[in-house]
Structure 1
Amino acid sequence: MPVAVREADSEERGRTRPVRWVVAAGVAVLALLLAGVLAFAFTSGDDEPRVPGVDSADAGFARDMAVHHQQAVEMSFIVRDRTDDEDVRRLAYDIANTQANQRGMLLGWLDLWQLPKVAPDGAGPMVWMEEEGGHGGHGAGGAAAMPGMASEEELERLGRLRDEEAEVFYLQLMTDHHQGGVPMAEACVSLCAVPAEKRLAAGMVEGQQSELRLMRDLLADRGAKPRT
């Protein structure tokens, strides 16, 4: 009987919590976009506002990090339904909301700049990072070419695991994800021209480095380590 109650509670959470997460993220995105709508351009030497070009680091970072963030949100929703551990669920909630908000800002800027949300002419991800010590140039390998991205097989495995196994695998996947995302954000801090985007990227570096430390501790509590 207690098992049935727990299963019913889990099903109820599955029906209600995604709505609350999505609504909260959507409201925050709208607020952030309204607050930053006047800061979407940068100023040239003659003090005239300019919009980044389609091949700029600003546009490339916005496109690539929006894709990168989307997978982090997806993984966080998956693990939320695979465990009842409050520490992991709280982390997943924070990551899903933060990265959904940031993704909304990045896509909103692309809209304001009237730039495509996919790389033009079939260019692969990370090309905009080539100036930054040769980290880019992955070619047209798709999203999987971006550092830290989980494979489809890994996402499917996460969806099959439960409880501590799901917690450990999520923490390992998200550690890889952040370790790939931090250098991308650091590159934008160096290469992007739009001040608001540079500030957002710097905040990503700080936030994800803090989460990396937390995830290392959560893994240690479970007798596990990061994969890399």
Structure 2
Amino acid sequence: MTLNLEAWQKRVLLILGVVAVAGLFALAFTAGRVAATPQSPGNDSPDAGFARDMQVHHSQAVEMSRIIREQTDDVVLRTIAYDIAMTQQHQIGQMYAWLQDWGLPQSSDAERMAWMAGSGHAHEGGGTVPADGLMPGMATPGEMQALSEATGEDAERLFLELMIEHHKAGVDMAEAGVELAAESEVRELARKMAASQELEITAMEDLLAQL
């Protein structure tokens, strides 16, 4: 049986209406999924800045720890240095992997610690580094050389003095990470860093007082 023109038009309009409604549902579903998909931190985000700068900061702590383990026989100090080296090397790997997962480069043209400017832990100048280019707490090349050449109690004292200052600045950076980072895993690692380094500062201050 053939349909007249009017019936055919009604049928076409009905089909088009069903298709349109289905399309709207599909579009809404897709939009919902896109909106629900977490966005990775941007290149200039506090998360990225924290991951980059803390890797650099940690790397020097690992190197200082390696040096003192070769320069002292003190069991307690060697144990502290070993814990610092192992813990911070592992954390460097975590932060490196984050930047990879976020599709971001491991380095940036941004000024060191500029990401801290919005926190309560920014250093003078809005979180930026001093004129010598070293982040707060970082030992100078001359101090690193002196540490590598020192022995016995001289090496122990110099290591403790340098690492205490290094850790204090590290705690500041970590607390800024807790305050500013958008990613929960970044905030959690930063919180652990601050807590562990505070404990290590206390232990190293006790050792320094005994020398």
Give 1:138's match in structure 2, choosing from 121, 128, 132: 128
Question: Does residue 125 of the first structure (1) align with residue 125 of the second (2)?
Answer: no
Residue 139 of structure 1: how far off its partner (Å): 5.9
Residue 140 of structure 1: how far off its partner (Å): 8.9
Instruction: Give the structure-1-normalised TM-score.
Output: 0.73
Structure 1 segment 73-222 matched on structure 2, within 5 A: 73-119=62-108, 122-133=109-120, 134-135=122-123, 136-138=126-128, 144=134, 146-222=135-211
Provide the rounded CA distance (Å) in 2 between the counterparts of 1:103 and 1:143: 21
Residue 142 of structure 1: how far off its partner (Å): 7.5
Provide the rounded CA distance (Å) in 1 between the counterparts of 2:130 and 2:70: 34
Give 1:69's match in structure 2, choosing from 58, 78, 81: 58
**What secondary structure does 1:84 align onto?**
coil
**What secondary structure does 1:81 align onto?**
helix
> Equivalent residue for 1:34?
none
Whichever residue aligns with residue 175 of structure 1, its letter is I
Provide the rounded CA distance (Å) in 2 between the counterparts of 1:196 and 1:139: 26
Residue 49 of structure 1: how far off its partner (Å): 1.3
Summarize deviations over 1:8-35 as a string: whole Å, max 9, x none.
Answer: xxxxxxxxxxxxxxxxxxxxxxxxxxxx
Summarize deviations over 1:84-107 as a string: whole Å, max 9, x none.
Answer: 111111110000000000011001
Give 1:52's match in structure 2, choosing from 37, 41, 47: 41
Q: Does structure 1 retain, via aligned residues, the 8 Å contact 2:129–2:136?
A: no
Structure 2 residue ranges without an equivalent (≥5): 1-34
Structure 1 residue ranges without an equivalent (≥5): 1-45, 223-228
> Equivalent residue for 2:5?
none
Q: Does structure 2 retain, via aligned residues, the 8 Å contact 1:124–1:141?
A: no
Whichever residue aligns with residue 74 of structure 1, its letter is E
Q: Which has the larger radius of gyration?
A: 2
- Total equivalences in the alignment: 175
Whichever residue aligns with residue 191 of structure 2, its letter is A
Residue 189 of structure 1: how far off its partner (Å): 0.3
Provide the rounded CA distance (Å) in 2 between the counterparts of 1:139 and 1:77: 26
Closer/same/farther in 2, CA of residues 47 and 190 from structure 1, 3 Å limit: same
Work out the percentage of aligned pairs sharing the same amino acid.
Answer: 48
Residue 141 of structure 1: how far off its partner (Å): 5.5
Provide the rounded CA distance (Å) in 2 between the counterparts of 1:217 and 1:155: 22
Residue 113 of structure 1: how far off its partner (Å): 0.7
Point out 4+ residue stretches in structure 1 off by more than 6 angstroms: none
